Amino acid sequence: MIGNQIGKRYAEAIYSVAEARNEVKSVYEVLNSVMELYKNDVDFRNFITHPLIKENEKKETLKKIFSDSDEGIEVLFYILEKGRIAQIREIVAEYVKIDYLKNQILDVEATFAVELTNEQKEKLSKNLEIKTGKKIKLVVNVDKTLIGGGIIKIGDEITDGSIRRQLETLTQK
């Protein structure tokens, strides 16, 4: 809970600066890269959070790793100086939420019994865009246990049109 509050506060500050500089996407890419590195590389995580390693050494290392992004490195230095690198996952998650909210984008997770063709994915995206009035970022999963039909999750709302669910409903009646 506290991590989310911290992430939200930092993400809002970072997003407003990135938006003012027209660097929202490049800042996101650097934040996401650091998050992945922090999450997957134990040596990096230990180095960047070690209390005996001086901040200047950490900054030099970050500068070498992310030398191609001046705007992103400033954000990383800010997070490092404030001692919030351990909350990078929450910061990135909140940053994405802010971006999606400002740009009217919805994350949609669709699960079907079989893989959809590109044409079916496009049609589903367009129908959902018409229904919601927002841009759709669609992720399609395959679950062979569904038998047929599908499940669509938009935020907290789940529409279960799977045959498995229909059979369960019938057996309950």
pLDDT tens, position by position, for the chain (173 residues)?
566 788 899 999 999 999 998 888 989 999 999 999 999 999 999 999 998 999 999 999 888 888 777 777 888 899 999 989 889 999 999 999 999 889 888 888 999 888 889 999 899 899 988 888 889 888 999 988 887 888 888 877 888 777 777 777 778 87
CATH architecture of 2-101: Orthogonal Bundle (1.10)
Q: What's the pLDDT at 113?
A: 85
Q: What's the pLDDT at 93?
A: 92
Task: Say how far apart CA 58 and CA 107 lie, in whole Å.
Answer: 35
Q: What's the pLDDT at 164?
A: 73
Task: Say how far apart CA 133 and CA 126 lie, in whole Å.
Answer: 10
CA end-to-end span of the chain, whole Å? 41
Q: What's the pLDDT at 163?
A: 75
Q: What's the pLDDT at 12?
A: 93
The DSSP secondary-structure symbol of 117 reads: P
Task: Say how far apart CA 115 and CA 7 lie, in whole Å.
Answer: 36
In this structure, the chain runs to a length of: 173
pTM metric for this prediction: 0.72
For CATH 1.10.520.20, the residue range(s) in the chain are 2-101
